[in-house]
Structure 1
Amino acid sequence: MSERLLLSMPADGDLRIHWLHWSDSTQQRLDTGSIEAGGSLDDLGERFAGVPCYVIVPGEWVSWQQVVLPKGGRVGLAALPFQLEEQLCSDLDSLHLVCGNIVANQPSDVLVVDRQRMDEWFALLKDSGLKVKSLLPDYAVLPENVVLLDERRATVRLPAAAASLSTDNLSAWWQVAGGDVSPRCYSEQGAAIAVSLPAESTQTYEQRLEQIARLFSPWPMNLLSGDYRLKEESNVLWQRLRWPVVLAGLLLALHWLSLGLEIADSRRQIALYEQGIDDIYRDTFPGARIVNARSQMRSQLAALEGGNVEQSAFMPWLDRIARASKGDSGISLQQLNYEKNAVKVLIAADGYEQVDRWVAALLSQGFEVERGAFGQEQTGITGQLVLREGGK
């Protein structure tokens, strides 16, 4: 169910602020009441904290002007006060101006109100807790061609004029501003109203604020703008969402920190793997210049295999050498060259016993082993073996 709260500020001679809780879907009153003028709105703020609130002020205190400006947008907005200065005959610093959308060379609506009045309304609303959507004069919430009458006040909204004034003065005002318009007229039930209008139709109502709620059609403007913009609604929302937002931000920051640490660790591991590949290539091809070890290793293997992995003897030989070397930590291969069906291996060993054991393992793999010269080193012996296929 769509609901709204209408709050009517007192006009001259009225000592109370009237409020109406209204259902848009049923077009019925949900509740109504009034509080003393100048009193606190805290109780209403607590009761209707989530209900959109529209504040209606007496139109006698708000002037509606129309101006035509040669420029639109911000340029037109800056020129607006100077355009109105002669019409208002007042110190502009003492006035609060609110305008609609400014389009070059087209009439623009402007609402003008004394800042002293705005200060009073703003002070009453700013700490109330109400969800105030807009503040408008009463004629600015009525549709066109409507006159709302009671014994004391008349509120009029015509296509080219709008005002709130004493009912006794309506006839004189109509002769100047009404013209030949035939409005819909709504009169307070039981009120003695001595006004004759060329009305299209005349109906009666029981309660003024309820009738405004039925006809409610607000202008797309808001007197609570500029220096009088209410910030409490956003502050209240921030107070409600502050800790969830902070917690969500903290979790997001931790997530990104964790992700960053994982990326850094992955890059470190990749760097170690790349260094390991370089070390293997350097051990396999001593003195070779390394640009891209993986690519160079593939090129070396392709050259050794003659471009045909299935027919080359090198890869099966390498596998047999690996099986013969398995588990023997006393042998270290320093260099391995494959040429003309023979593999020349430069090895380092702790002693001749390890060399003999490894030669025996190679013979068991079907190799014919030819020993070269061995020499003594500080940590063991080094020498060369030539491996061929057995029987060749």
Structure 2
Amino acid sequence: MAETLFIRLASKQEQAISWLVWSTSELEIIASGELANASALTELTEKANQRKVVVLVPANDVSLKQLQVPGKSQRARQMAAPYMLEDDLAQDVEQLFFAYATSQNDTQDANCLLAAVEREQLEQWLAWLAAADISAKKMLPDALALPYETESWTSVKLGQQYLFRQGFWQVMTVDQTLWPVVAELALASEREKLASKDQDNSADNHTIKINSYAELEAIDGFEIVQQPEELPLALLAQHAEQTSFNLLQGPYQVKTKRSPMVKSWLLAAGVAGLALLLNLGYKGAKLYQLNQEQAAIEQQIIDRYKQVFPQTKKVRLGTIRSQLKQKLAGVSSANNDAHFLTLLARLEPAFARVPQLKPESLKYDNKRQELRIQAIASNYQQFEQFKNQLERLQFKVSQGSQNNQGDQVTGSFSIKAG
């Protein structure tokens, strides 16, 4: 069940405060009451924690103005509007807070709707709520929560005062004893406005229709249409949501508070996000390490290939397999390469122990199962060392002729498995 707590604050701390819990789904009063003063707001703290809170404030503490302000942008109008009212306001502009409403439609009469309230008064209301740990997202002049009707006024009695809504952005609060006087002044003002627009005498007979939800003294020129009497705060609760205006704007706008459950979920999500980030970081570092190791292994393969085939200038890892097949085809006269590969693998320790000796060519005779190596080294001793290493590996070695070519020596070996 969707419920809203309505609190109607007073102008002064010692004055009574009305409250009401309204069911927006069942359209009925759940509970209502009255507090002695602002200090008793703590009695509503528990109710406020479980429900949406709408605060109503006395309309006589808020001045509603409709202005025609030069300027194309809404921001420019709002900046200029307060200073256009300096002569009409009792307080200095700096002492007031201005909240703005969305106009139904900009006309030649008004393109800027604003509400002016003393900063001190507004901050006092907010302080009362804060002291009771009550958070309200919406604050509204009480008379603006009355039903809005285009062709008539609406009225209700709240305590010893009448609240009137005369139009979309027109309200009035009148003490009960002053109603006859105020009514005559309001009627005269209305007829004067009509007379300025109409040249005939029909304005003199103009009457004002009031849909009143409380007993209202009949006055000449007013048509009082009695509506069913309701608890005043219940009537305001039913129509408050129809008004989108909110006094809590700018620095007074209330930030949404997250529930404890949402905070718990956010904390859990934060921890999970951190864990995911650490996991991704670890895997990223591991992947980087593996990539580095792979690059090192690939470079070793290339270096070893160049060592075995030093005459090769350009080596690409992707083509080493095919290049090796070509080399094998060149040194093998038959399809049986198994013996050659085994023989070549057994030779690897000898090459490792005499790294200065480099093979220039390899030729394998499959019929004789003999490997012929043409090699190059720095001196004759390295050929002798290589031969000794082969014999230690149980190979039968025949050493060919050796030739001195400048600072290098070339020679050959015929190698068979022992």
Normalised-by-shorter TM-score class: 0.7 to 0.9
CA contact (8 A) 1:277 1:293 kept: no
**Greater mean alpha carbon deviation, residues 329-338 or residues 280-289:** 329-338
Secondary structure, aligned partner of 1:204: coil
Residue of structure 1 aligned with 2:316, choices 260, 270, 293: 293
Match in the other structure for 1:265? 289
The answer for the alignment partner of 1:4 in structure 2 is 4
Q: Which of 330, 333, 341 is the aligned partner of 1:322?
A: 341
Aligned partners of 1:130, 1:137: CA distance in 2, in Å? 18
**Residues 309-344 of structure 1, C-alpha deviation per residue, up to 9 Å, x if partnerless?**
9x9968956543223455777444854746798975
Range moving further from structure 2, 265-274 or 248-257: 248-257
Aligned residue number for residue 353 of structure 1: 391
1:205 matched to 2:229 = yes
Structure 2, gaps ≥5 residues long: 195-205, 353-357, 376-385, 404-409
TM-score by length of 2: 0.70
CA distance in 1, matches of 2:311, 2:50: 80
- The aligned residue for residue 162 of structure 1 is 171
8 Å CA contact retained: 2:23, 2:29: yes
The 2-side partners of 1:329 and 1:61 are apart by: 101
After TM superposition, list the pairs within 5 Å mapping 1:1-392 onto structure 2: 1-10=1-10, 15-69=15-69, 70-101=71-102, 107-145=111-149, 147-150=154-157, 152-159=161-168, 161-167=170-176, 168-169=178-179, 171-172=183-184, 174-175=186-187, 176-177=189-190, 185-188=211-214, 191=215, 193-196=216-219, 197-199=222-224, 201-231=225-255, 233=257, 243-244=267-268, 246-286=270-310, 288-289=312-313, 293-295=316-318, 297=320, 300-301=323-324, 304=327, 316=335, 318-325=337-344, 330-332=349-351, 335=359, 337=361, 344-345=372-373, 348=386, 351-354=389-392, 356-357=394-395, 372=400, 384-385=412-413
Per-residue deviation at 1:77? Answer: 2.9
Question: TM-score, structure 1 length as denominator?
Answer: 0.74
How many Å separate the matches in 2 of 1:14 and 1:202? 33
Question: What is the CA-CA distance between 1:263 and the residue it aligns to?
Answer: 3.1
Counterparts in 2 of 1:340 and 1:228: CA distance versus 1, 3 Å = same
RMSD: 4.2
Compared CA separation, residues 130 and 233, structure 1 to 2 (3 A): farther
CA distance in 2, matches of 1:314, 1:100: 97
The answer to whether the 8 Å contact 2:331/2:364 transfers is no
Determine helix, strand or coil for the equivalent of 1:282: helix
Shift in alpha-carbon separation, 1:160–1:104, aligned structure 2, 3 A: closer
- Residue 72 of structure 1 contacts residue 104 of structure 1 at CA under 8 Å; is this kept in 2? no
- In structure 2, do the counterparts of structure 1 residues 53 and 271 end up closer, same or farther at CA, with 3 Å as the change threshold? same
| SS in structure 2 of the partner of residue 88 of structure 1 | coil
Asked if structure 2 preserves the Cα contact closer than 8 Å seen for 1:331 and 1:354, the reply is: no
Does the C-alpha gap of structure 1 residues 329 and 286 become closer, same or farther in structure 2, counting only changes over 3 Å? closer
- Separation in 1, partners of 2:78, 2:51: 32
Deviations 1:59-114 (A, max 9, x none): 11111112233131433332232233233353101111011358988612101111
Q: Which moved more, 1:346-355 or 1:87-96?
A: 346-355
Show the counterpart of 2:197: none
Seen in structure 2, the aligned counterparts of structure 1 residues 173 and 25 have a Cα distance that, compared at 3 Å, is farther
Using a 3 Å threshold, how does the CA distance of structure 1 residues 287 and 30 change in structure 2: closer, same or farther? farther
- Please give the alpha-carbon distance, in whole angstroms, between the structure 1 residues aligned to 2:145 and 2:264: 32
Name whichever of 315-324 and 78-87 sits farther off: 315-324
Q: Report deviation, 1:355.
A: 5.4
* Gap change, CA 1:211 and 1:328, over 3 Å in 2: same
My pick for the range that moved more, 151-160 or 91-100, is: 151-160
Contact kept? 1:325, 1:358, Cα under 8 Å? no
Paired letter, 2:184: A
Show the counterpart of 1:378. none
Asked if the contact 2:363/2:373 (under 8 Å) is kept, the reply is no
**Could you tell me how far apart the structure 2 residues matched to 1:202 and 1:300 are?**
105
CA contact (8 A) 2:331 2:363 kept: no
**Compared CA separation, residues 225 and 326, structure 1 to 2 (3 A):** same
Distance 1:11 1:116, change over 3 A: closer
Task: Tell whether the 8 Å contact from 2:163 to 2:173 is kept in structure 1 after alignment.
Answer: yes
Partners of 2:137 and 2:254 within 8 A in 1? no
Note the residue ranges of structure 1 that are not aligned, 5 or more in a row: 360-369, 376-381
Describe the shift of the 1:75–1:285 C-alpha distance in structure 2 as closer, same or farther (beyond 3 A): farther
CA distance in 1, matches of 2:131, 2:266: 20
Deviations 1:262-295 (CA, angstroms, capped at 9, x unpaired): 23323322332232233223223326545x6314
